[in-house]
Amino acid sequence: MLEIQVTAHQSLALGVRPVGTAPVPTHLNIPGSVLRGALAAVWIAQYGLPTKVPSDKRREFIALFESDVSYGPLFATGSQVVPLSVLRCKYRTCAAVVDEAFNDAEGAPTCACGPLVPGRGEVEFTKSAARGLVTQSTHLQIDDARGVAEENLLFTRRALTHRDANDAERTFHGRITPGSELPDSAARWLAGARRLRLGARRGTSGAVTYTPRPAVVAPPATGLRIALRLTAPAILTDPSGLLLDLADRQAVRSALDDELAPQLGGARVTAVERVWARRERVGGWHAASRLPKPVELAVSAGSVLLLTFDRPPAPDRLLALTGRGIGLRRNEGFGALETATTAWEQPAEPASTATDQDQAPDPAEAYAWQLFDTGHGPWFVDNLRPYVEELAAHPGARHIGLLERPRLRRLTPNDRETLTTMLLNAPVDVLDRTLGMLNALVRGLAEKESLRP
Ligand SMILES: [Zn+2]
């Protein structure tokens, strides 16, 4: 199991293709399917299309992206999916929380403000983490094939900002679980840190660093009553392949028992005590062929299945299950889950990121890539130097005159905003290192370049 950290260097537009003139929303987390697609794109850039590489390489691609590697969802620090079994204060004026999955109290739960209400299974951020979360910008839609603007297609896209409330780069966390059949070469490839591009508008947004580490995760608690809490949509079917009817407890018990007993060392599901669920339509794209996959009705993230077992499953088996997930198309990020034996609790506000300062990536590296990605890297090497020297001599002399130069008149609004922030705020030593790194990038860091999608 790999613990994945993704650090965002640019805003992330994790939405769907624009439809009409409605603003395009963004996911508030990185779905496993998006991470998988970005990794597949890097692999293809590195080795070529899987249909055109030698057969051992083709097998590696299939093992990585079309077999039993589970790509779990990534959540930003300070965010999570709140289970649908959780009731909270309707007005959020008090901190009342009741998890119906583990609540033995009689009567309808209330707080002083009124009845408690369930959430909607959405990704939620703590108050401090939610500040400045989403930006909105208007773009001209460009025809991918012809490279020209399509008629009448000015659209508005929402994106996750890449800086959190403390102005640190937003980090996302999750897991990738390599299946048992992953060849060593593929496992090593997956375990290598690299730059990725996530989501839409890849020229101006979506740059992230992918940092995998061997996971050190404590096994979850076990017991006779275990709640499965979905953290991604799941596609659950009965043995004949039909969509599972969640209202039919017997059918759900039987289907889950069939799937879980081999995973949980023979522990049997004896009852489905209760289900809290929503449904949603999910599609997807086939990574290699770039064709749409069939749309299916999935059980939404946040849904909860409360199960009773004939004996407590071994904790390490439960841990393996949380890495594997349940249902179909798990390698596409579906079916990710957590298990619980006790009531959900509202998480505390995350500690200030200042505490892991020494692990923080150098902002100069992100700036260097941003400058490089504008396509004006060499120009910046020559023209940013005088500004940095001027600042070193006169620390108060901040300005953005550089961005007014005719050369940069077609800079995207996103780039312009980021570079304005950099010019007005980055300490001189950071700017100095940025120049050094940009210079190295421009001179061709052959290895790094080959990893870029
Ligand atoms: Zn209340």
User: SS3 string of 241-277?
Assistant: CCECCCCCHHHHHHHHHHHHHHHCCCCCEEEEEEEEC
170 and 231, same domain (yes or no): no
Whether residue 356 lies inside any domain: the answer is no
pLDDT (0 to 100) of residue 152: 52
Choose the final residue of a domain: 189, 217, 245: 217
Bridge partners (DSSP) listed for residue 227: 306, 340
Cα Rg for the chain, rounded, in angstroms? 24
Please indicate, yes or no, if residue 351 is contained in any of the structural domains: no
Both 75 and 28 in one domain: the answer is: yes
CA of 342 to the centre of ligand 1 (A): 22
- For 52, other C-beta atoms within 10 Å of its C-beta total 10
CATH number for position 212? 3.30.70
Same domain for 98 and 208? no
Query: Does 349 map to a domain?
Result: no
Q: 406 — alpha (psi -120 to 50), left (phi > 0) or beta?
A: alpha
Strands 149-160, 134-142: parallel, antiparallel or unpaired by DSSP? Answer: antiparallel
Same-domain pairing of 137 and 37: yes
Partners of 416 in beta bridges: none
Query: Cα(86) to centroid of ligand 1, in Å?
Result: 14
**Which tokens is 100 given?**
């119906």
SS (H, E, C) 36-82: HHHHHHHHHHHHCCHHHCCHHHHHHHHHHHCCCCEECCEEECCEEEC
pLDDT tens sequence for the chain (453 residues): 899 999 999 888 887 554 455 566 678 899 998 999 999 999 999 999 999 999 999 999 999 999 889 999 999 988 989 999 999 887 777 888 899 999 888 887 888 887 888 888 888 888 777 777 777 766 655 555 555 555 555 666 678 888 887 888 999 999 999 887 888 999 999 999 999 999 865 567 889 999 999 888 889 999 999 999 999 999 999 888 888 999 999 999 999 999 999 999 999 999 999 999 999 887 665 555 566 667 778 999 999 999 999 999 999 999 999 999 999 989 888 999 999 999 998 877 655 444 444 445 567 777 887 788 788 888 998 899 889 888 888 877 888 889 989 999 888 887 888 888 888 888 888 888 888 878 877 776 434 344 343
**17 and 148 part of one domain:** yes
pLDDT recorded at residue 35 = 94
Is residue 10 assigned to a domain? yes
Dmax (CA) for the chain in angstroms is 76
Looking at the structure, do residues 209 and 255 belong to the same domain, yes or no?
no
Between the two ends of the chain, the Cα-to-Cα distance in Å is 25
Question: Does residue 355 belong to any structural domain of this protein?
Answer: no
Question: Taking the CB of residue 295, how many other CB atoms lie within 10 A of it?
Answer: 10
Amino acid at the residue 366: A
Indicate the residue among 291, 310, 340 that finishes a domain.
340
- In the chain, the number of structural domains is 4
Q: Is 214 exposed, middle or buried (0-12, 13-18, 19+ CB in 10 A)?
A: exposed
Q: What is the CATH number of the domain that holds 304?
A: 2.60.40.4350
**Residue that the structure tokens 């950071």 belong to:** 430
The encoded tokens of residue 36 equal 């998988």
Distance of CA 118 from the midpoint of ligand 1 (Å): 13
In a domain, 346, yes or no: no
Asked whether residue 233 falls in the same domain as residue 151, the answer is: no
Is there a single domain that holds both residue 158 and residue 17? Answer: yes
| DSSP E strand stretches across 113-183 | 114-118, 123-125, 134-142, 149-160, 171-177
Q: How far apart are CA 366 and CA 418, in angstroms?
A: 11
Distance of CA 87 from the midpoint of ligand 1 (Å): 11
Residue 170, both tokens: 């937003």
**φ and ψ of 239, to 5 deg:** -60, -25
pLDDT at 448: 39
Strands 279-282 and 304-309 turn out to be unpaired
Do 97 and 205 share a domain, yes or no?
Answer: no
Ligand 1 centre distance from Cα of residue 408 (Å): 52
In terms of domains, do 164 and 311 share one?
no
Q: How far is the CA of 129 from the centre of ligand 1 (A)?
A: 22
Residue 353 placed within a domain: no
* Residues near ligand 1 ion, CB 5 Å cutoff: 89, 94, 96, 111, 113
Can you say how many angstroms the Cα of residue 278 is from the centroid of all Cα atoms in its chain? 21
Structural domain span for residue 90: 85-118
The answer for 270, left when phi > 0, alpha when psi is -120 to 50, beta otherwise, is: alpha
Residues 421 and 288 in one domain: no
**Smallest Cα–Cα separation from 31: which of 328, 330, 318, 340?**
330
Q: Are residues 201 and 262 in the same domain?
A: no
Amino acid letter, 251: A
Per-residue model confidence (pLDDT) at position 239:
83
Distance of CA 82 from the midpoint of ligand 1 (Å): 17
One-letter amino acid at 436 equals G
Ligand 1 centroid distance, CA of 117 (Å): 10
Give the integer Cα–Cα distance in Å for 370 and 415.
8
CA of 346 to the centre of ligand 1 (A): 14
**Three-state DSSP state, 189:** helix
Residue 385 lies in a domain: yes
Q: From 192, 217, 242, give the residue that closes a domain.
A: 217
Element (H, E) at 129: helix 127-130
